[in-house]
Amino acid sequence: MAELDLTNRPDVQVNDGDLSTRNLSGLTKTELRALFADTFGLDAKKAKMRANQIWRWIYQHGATDFEAMTDIAKDMRAGLAEKFVIARPEVTERLVSTDGTRKYLIRLGPGIEVECVYIPDVGRVGALCVSSQVGCTLNCTFCHTGTQKLVRNLTSAEIVNQVIAVKDDLEEWPSGGEDRLLSNIVFMGMGEPLYNLDNVAAAIDVISDGDGISLSRRRITVSTSGVVPQMHDLGEETSAMLAISLHATNNDLRDELVPINRKYPIAELLDACRNYPGASNARRITFEYVMLKDINDSDAEARELVRLLKGIPAKINLIPFNPWPGAPYECSSWERIEAFAEIVNRAGYASPIRTPRGRDIFAACGQLKSESVKKRASDVRREAAG
Ligand code: SAH
Ligand code: SF4
């Protein structure tokens, strides 16, 4: 079911690209302060106060209209409305899976679209998987995103606006309510977050701010294919939870599946995990392991995985491979995945098998790819049905 959905917020202005220099939505506190100081000639103290005030309206209340900001003087509200907008990114497609997963296609500019996916019942109540880049420069052989050519880093505002657009759709304003649907954020959409660390860190600052969207840093997970030199900074700068796309237990195979391994091999990667700031039994590192039939799914590899992770506070997430057209792999059989999980489990590691979600709308891991270069999910489903 493809539908254009902005009906929840008919009042909302859509950011068509021309608005980007005037749009306050998604900006950091520092950006807002600088903007107000410049535009209205405010001193540092006044600019800070104004930024804090507007911050709460944007991120706590989801306001899109300056007129709603009743604690701001009328002439100031008019001045703000003259210079700025609070505009949402355009949601060009919204698909809802039979399992409740929602996939959004968000347009950032002409021909540039990213996807983000809301998955209910993951994390505390529901997780949002966000993208950090358009496409990915790495070419993991099992990943669909890696086959996409167009690549650019998203700005921190573009990352935050994915969260805002989904909060609109879930009607999660004001933020921080009791019965909210969105509790976790995972950077597992398109792109390698550690190749865009500054913007990812700035976005996490916005999303986790207690006066705004207020999602705890412990519920924000950043997944990396293993950009070792950036891992420590990620921990220091964001206090986010870390997930590692491991997928193989020896360098020969990992070189092939996750080619960045040639630069940062397994031993270096695991050392960086041992030194990840804040890792502890209460804050374990997640190791993602995609189950590829006859490639990485033997009992011996399960035992080797256990041996490798010794001494690291870890949990292991087994991900059934999500196929895509032309993919050179198959998913391991269910019995194989369970046998693998059993070995890891007996060694004392939690090893949940990730249930594939949103397969019917092409929203599962590694299936994200912009519409500009792939068939529309609705066509894929139509073909599958016919
Ligand atoms: N670039 C980052 C984050 C995005 S990928 C990373 O690689 O970690 C998010 C997760 O989906 C990674 O663990 C990735 O290995 C996994 N993934 C990619 N393609 C997949 C596929 N076809 N099936 C299952 N998992 C996949
Ligand atoms: Fe990029 Fe991650 Fe896909 Fe590898 S698995 S190609 S790093 S998005």
Tens digits of residue pLDDT in 71-92: 999 999 999 999 999 999 999 9
d(CA 223, CA 290): 14
Radius of gyration for the chain, computed over Cα atoms and rounded to the nearest angstrom = 21
- Binding site membership of 192 for ligand 2 (Cβ less than 6 Å): yes
Q: Which residue has the tokens 């001494």?
A: 311
| Confidence bin at 20 (pLDDT 50/70/90) | low
- Binding site membership of 136 for ligand 2 (Cβ less than 6 Å): yes
| Confidence bin at 110 (pLDDT 50/70/90) | confident
Residue that wins the pLDDT comparison between 324 and 154 = 154
pLDDT value at 351 more than 70: yes
- Binding site membership of 224 for ligand 2 (Cβ less than 6 Å): no
Q: Which two tokens stand for residue 172?
A: 């999660």
Q: Are 159 and 199 in contact (CB under 8 A)?
A: yes
Q: Which of 115, 172, 288, 301 is catalytic?
A: 115
Annotated catalytic residue 129: no
**Mutation choice for ligand 2 from 151, 225, 367, CB with most ligand atoms inside 8 A:** 225
pTM above 0.85, yes or no: yes
Lowest mean pLDDT among 180-189, 225-234, 236-245: 180-189
**Mutation choice for ligand 1 from 137, 139, 143, 331, CB with most ligand atoms inside 8 A:** 143
d(CA 83, CA 21): 10
Q: Which two tokens stand for residue 225?
A: 């294919």
Q: Are 303 and 343 in contact (CB under 8 A)?
A: yes
- Binding site membership of 143 for ligand 1 (Cβ less than 6 Å): yes
Percentage above 90 pLDDT, the chain: 72
Closest approach atom of ligand 1 to CA 187: 3
Category of 92 on φ-ψ map: left (φ > 0), alpha (ψ -120 to 50) or beta: alpha
Provide CATH code, domain 90-377.
3.20.20.70
pLDDT at 362: 62
pLDDT at 7: 37
Lowest mean pLDDT among 69-83, 201-215, 244-258, 343-357: 343-357
Domain 22-85, CATH class in plain words: mainly alpha
From-to residues of CATH 3.20.20.70 in the chain? 90-377
For 248, residues 6+ apart whose C-beta sits below 8 A from its C-beta are: 254, 256, 257, 258, 261, 266, 296, 301
Please list the alpha-helical segments (H only) found in 84-214: 156-170, 197-208
Q: What's CA 347's distance to the chain center, in Å? A: 30
pLDDT at 109: 76
d(CA 228, CA 243): 12
Among all ligands shown, which has an atom nearest to the Cα of 324?
A: 1
Question: Whose C-alpha lies nearest to ligand 2, atom 8?
Answer: 191
Q: Which residue has the tokens 């195979």?
A: 253
Question: Residue 177 to residues 68, 214, 233, 322, 361: CA-CA distances in angstroms?
Answer: 20, 10, 32, 34, 29
